[in-house]
C-alpha cells in the first residue's frame, strides 16, 4: 500500500546541511495501523510530511497505492492528496466557521456541491460522535471534540490513507483513549490505512499493528508491535518500552533480598499458564513476586515478572534451566552493592 524507498530529506542552514530523514525504507500494508515513534527531533514528523509531499524528499521514492507521488505534476499531486487524509496535534480548524462548515471545507475545495457537501459532513459528524455539535464553533469545543472534527474533516474525501501527526499529544489520558478508540473504529469499519506519529509508546501499544522506532533521522528498529515489546533489539526501543512496562526494582528492596532475583517474560499462551508455581513445587523452592504485570498487546498477553527464588542452590539452578527452556529467555538480576545491579542472561 505504502512503499518508502531510501528516502532522505536534508535542509540547508547557516550552520550547514541538516539531515531530517536519513535513508529510510519502509513498507506499510493495506488496512494496518503503523506507528512511527521517536523523541523530538528524531525525524518522524518530517518523514510523515514526505508521505504526501508536504515536504518534498531530497532523495528516494514514495509510492502510495501504486502511484509514485514524486513523479506527479502539481495538479496531479493535488488530486492524489485527496486520497490521503491528515490530522495534526494542533487541530488546524478555522475558528470563524462552524463544525459542519469545517468538515465540509475539504469537500468544497474538491468541487463538491453545497447540498452534497452538507450531507456528507453530517454523516461524518455522526461517525465521530459529534452530530449535536454541527452548528457550534471550534472555540466552544473541548480538545478531544476538536480532534474529532479534524478526523471527520480528514475523512471527507474518502481517503485510503490517514496520516496522524502527534494526534493525541495535546490531549489528557482519558481523551487520548477515546480518540484511539475512534481511530481503531475507523480503521476497522472503513478499512483505512493509518500511519501514526507519536513519542508515546503507550499509544503504539494500544493501537498499532506494526511500528518503527526512529532516532536521528534513521529507523533503528521495525516490526510487529507485539514482537518489539516482547523482545526489543535496540537500546532506544528498550527505553521507550520501559515507559510502559517498567520492571526496575528499587535498590533498597534488593538489599533486603537473600535469594536469586530473576526477570521472567511470558509471551502468548504461556502468560496464562501456571509455569512458575509448577516449577516451585517440582524443585521444592520458594518464590516471592517482587513485581508482576500482564499487558495486552494486539489482544495477546505479555507477562513480565520479577521474582526472588529461595532454596537449595542446585535446585534453583535447575529451576532456572527449566524456565529458560520453556520461556526462551530468563535474566538473573545480580545484586551488586557498589553499583546498583546488573543483568545477565541465565545459561
Query: What SS3 state is found at 231?
Result: coil
pLDDT reported for residue 273: 65
CA 215 centroid distance within chain: 15
Residue-wise pLDDT for 242-255, tens only, equals: 898 877 777 777 77
pLDDT reported for residue 345: 40
Architecture per CATH, domain 2-242, reads as: 3-Layer(aba) Sandwich (3.40)
Q: What is the pTM of this model?
A: 0.87
Residue-wise pLDDT for 168-203, tens only, equals: 988 889 999 999 999 999 999 999 999 999 999 999
pLDDT reported for residue 263: 84
Which residues, in sequence order, are CB contacts of 346 under 8 Å at separation 6+? 262, 320, 321, 323, 324, 330, 331, 332
pLDDT reported for residue 112: 83
- Residue-averaged pLDDT of the chain: 88
Res. 105: pLDDT tops 70: yes
Q: Sheet containing 300-310: which strands, arranged edge to edge?
A: 286-297, 300-310, 260-267, 330-335, 341-345
pLDDT reported for residue 13: 83
Res. 338: pLDDT tops 50: no
Which residues, in sequence order, are CB contacts of 172 under 8 Å at separation 6+? 143
Assign 325 a pLDDT band (cuts: 50, 70, 90).
Answer: confident
Residue-wise pLDDT for 42-81, tens only, equals: 999 999 999 999 999 999 999 999 999 999 999 999 889 9
CATH classification for the domain delimited by 251-345, as one of 3.30.70.260, 3.90.230.10, 3.30.1360.120, 3.40.50.720: 3.30.70.260
Assign 144 a pLDDT band (cuts: 50, 70, 90).
Answer: very high
Residue of 45, 46, 39, 2 whose CA lies nearest to 220:
39
Of the CA atoms within 13 Å of residue 333, those in its CB half-sphere come to 26
Tell me the domain boundaries of the chain: 2-242, 251-345
Which residues, in sequence order, are CB contacts of 347 under 8 Å at separation 6+? 321, 324
- Which residues does residue 260 pair with via DSSP β-bridges, in sequence order? 309
In this predicted model, which residue has the larger pLDDT, 160 or 257? 160
Res. 163: pLDDT tops 90: yes
Amino acid at each position: 500500500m505504502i512503499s518508502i524507498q531510501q528516502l532522505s530529506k536534508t535542509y540547508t542552514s547557516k550552520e550547514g546541511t541538516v539531515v531530517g530523514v536519513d535513508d529510510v525504507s519502509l513498507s506499510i500494508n493495506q488496512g494496518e495501523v503503523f506507528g512511527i515513534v521517536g523523541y523530538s527531533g528524531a525525524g518522524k514528523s518530517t518523514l510523515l510530511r514526505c508521505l504526501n509531499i508536504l515536504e518534498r524528499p531530497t532523495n528516494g521514492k514514495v509510492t502510495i497505492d501504486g502511484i509514485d507521488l514524486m513523479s506527479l505534476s502539481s495538479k496531479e499531486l493535488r488530486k492524489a492528496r485527496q486520497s490521503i487524509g491528515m490530522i495534526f496535534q494542533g487541530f488546524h480548524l478555522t475558528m470563524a466557521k462552524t463544525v459542519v462548515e469545517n468538515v465540509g471545507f475539504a469537500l468544497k475545495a474538491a468541487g463538491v456541491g453545497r447540498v452534497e457537501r452538507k450531507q456528507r459532513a453530517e454523516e461524518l459528524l455522526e461517525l465521530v460522535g459529534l452530530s449535536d455539535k454541527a452548528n457550534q464553533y471550534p472555540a466552544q469545543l473541548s480538545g478531544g471534540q476538536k480532534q474529532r472534527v479534524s478526523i471527520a474533516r480528514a475523512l471527507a474525501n474518502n481517503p485510503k490513507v490517514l496520516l496522524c501527526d502527534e494526534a493525541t499529544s495535546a490531549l489528557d489520558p482519558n481523551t487520548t483513549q477515546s480518540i484511539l478508540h475512534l481511530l481503531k473504529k475507523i480503521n476497522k469499519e472503513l478499512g483505512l490505512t493509518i500511519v501514526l506519529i507519536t513519542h508515546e509508546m503507550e499509544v503504539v501499544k494500544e493501537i498499532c499493528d506494526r511500528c518503527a522506532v526512529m532516532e536521528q533521522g534513521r529507523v533503528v528498529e521495525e516490526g510487529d508491535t507485539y514482537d518489539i515489546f516482547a523482545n526489543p533489539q535496540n537500546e532506544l526501543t528498550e527505553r521507550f518500552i520501559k515507559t510502559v512496562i517498567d520492571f526496575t526494582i528499587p535498590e533498597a528492596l534488593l538489599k533486603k533480598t537473600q535469594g536469586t532475583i530473576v526477570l521472567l517474560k511470558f509471551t502468548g499462551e504461556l502468560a496464562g499458564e501456571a509455569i512458575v508455581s509448577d516449577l516451585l513445587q517440582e524443585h521444592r523452592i520458594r518464590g516471592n513476586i517482587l513485581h508482576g504485570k500482564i499487558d495486552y498487546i494486539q489482544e495477546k498477553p505479555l507477562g513480565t515478572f520479577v521474582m526472588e527464588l529461595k532454596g537449595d542452590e542446585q535446585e534453583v539452578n535447575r529451576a532456572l534451566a527449566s524456565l529458560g527452556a520453556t520461556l526462551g529467555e530468563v535474566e538473573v538480576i545480580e545484586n551488586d552493592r557498589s553499583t546498583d545491579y546488573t543483568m545477565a542472561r541465565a545459561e
